[in-house]
Amino acid sequence: MTLTTNTQLILVLRFLQGPLTLLEGSILVPIIMSALNTKHARIIAYSCLYGFMLTGDKFATSMVKFAIENYDHNMMVYVIMSFHMIALAIYLFLFNQNRMFPKMPLYQLNLGGIFLMLISLISGAFFFVYGKKFLWFESPLILTAFCLMLVFGGMFILHQRSTKRPLFHFEVFKSKRVLLGIFIFFVFYVMRSCMSNLYQVMGMVWKWPWEYVLQIQYNNVIGTIAGVLVAAFMLMKKVDFKIIFIIGFTLLSISILWFSYLFFPDTSTEAVIPPLFLEGVGQGIVFTPLVLFMVGSVHPTISGNVSLVGTAMRFWSTTIGFSIMQNVLLYLTTKHQFLMTKNLDQTNPIFQEQWNSFLNKNSASNLSNEAEIISTTVLKTKLFNQALLVSNIEVFRTLFVLGISLVLLFVIYRPLKNRLLHR
């Protein structure tokens, strides 16, 4: 990527970078677990992996930001390359050669199933991420992506049910704990997806520079690390999953409700930091125990398939959660902006004061007609920002109700209190 400026070629290289990076990261947990001689190896390995997953994007963005600001685009790529080389060196020289899984010939990897699943995942991601941009089913691209997702997803299921060496064993869905874990994962990621709304408000309404927003996000990182450590400690002490989930989702729900009281035209940093930290603690407490709850629900011979279910749920929940937040926010913002414009009382003294202030400010450096146009644009922006704030209040309070409802489900659902079945 440092040798070309061709956009199409860069897109192809970025596409190839995805699965290659995934192959590099997928061996992290087995390597850590095989290197640790302790009964808590699985807890430590999963805590490291999911701690990095929840916080890594902030660190990566900071390093890329430093490289771009102080050097150039090529240096950004060199920084990324250097970290891949460091990871490779650690794999080669610091970890032992123990294997957790037996060697398997390539013909047993079920490449046909991987191909079908790959097309379904890519098509589904395109459908949910770009649906709003292309007006959903009014676009032939979105319609094609939706059909490909369904067709190849169905073919993948049929292929796996009929092949001798399936990539995925559907028997895992016979476990009620796995099904409950899938539902919890979905709710968890929908609740997490609202954080993008908060960062949008920081940039669009509060006018905070993105560098400043990035610095503030580290309070969330600190909270996440603290939550992961607390979760690991509770797992080692064999605390019931029921207690862990109640604590984690209660903290998540409280932080989301807290945010809903901060959506004003101007908010201080000191007011945002505590709930941002609390949200990090909540998600850190939930993530690792949720994965272990699902993995420990089935026989060890097919526990790897539960990991695949968890990975798929993270992918689909992130994508669907992003799509839900974007479309719900668009609908609510459009509705509130329309109602505000429709019910705007131009005879109101407050409105007249604001309008005269805009007009006088713009008349000083523009002609009268231009000043009116600019003032009208400023007023529309103010109305949009206010509509965005009101919409986010509704979204965050709805998610709070969803989170508390899930906590109540944990309280009344008895099978949840069982600990890990297979360690």
Gap between the Cα atoms of 285 and 19, Å rounded: 28
Residue 177: closest CA among 316, 310, 320: 310
pLDDT of residue 423: 40
Q: What is the distance between the alpha carbons of residues 53 and 60, in angstroms, rounded to a whole number?
A: 11
The average pLDDT across 89-101 equals 64
Cα 83 from Cα 88, distance rounded (Å): 9
Using CA atoms, how far residue 282 sits from 34, 278, 313, 406, 410, in Å, is 29, 6, 19, 14, 15
Q: How far is CA 174 from CA 86, 179, 306, 384, 420, in A?
A: 42, 8, 11, 48, 17
In percent, the amount of the chain with pLDDT more than 70 equals 80
pLDDT tens digits, residue range 257-273?
999 999 988 888 899 99
Predicted TM-score of the model (pTM): 0.80
Lowest average pLDDT, out of 152-161, 333-342, 356-365, goes to 356-365
Mean pLDDT for the stretch of residues 205-228: 89
Alpha carbon of residue 51 to chain centroid = 13
Instruction: Give me the mean pLDDT over the 360-371 stretch.
Output: 66
DSSP state, residue 281: H
What one-character DSSP code corresponds to residue 135?
A: T
Provide the residue ranges of all domains of the chain, joining segments of one domain with +. Answer: 1-97, 111-166, 176-344+390-418
How many whole angstroms separate alpha carbon 267 and alpha carbon 275? 13
Summarize pLDDT for 279-327 with one digit per residue, the tens: 999 999 998 898 888 877 666 666 667 777 777 777 778 888 888 888 8
Q: What local confidence, expressed as pLDDT, does residue 279 receive? A: 94
| Domain 176-344+390-418 sits in CATH 1.10.760.10 | no
Q: Measured at the alpha carbon of residue 330, what is the angle toward residues 328 and 336, in degrees to the nearest 5?
A: 100
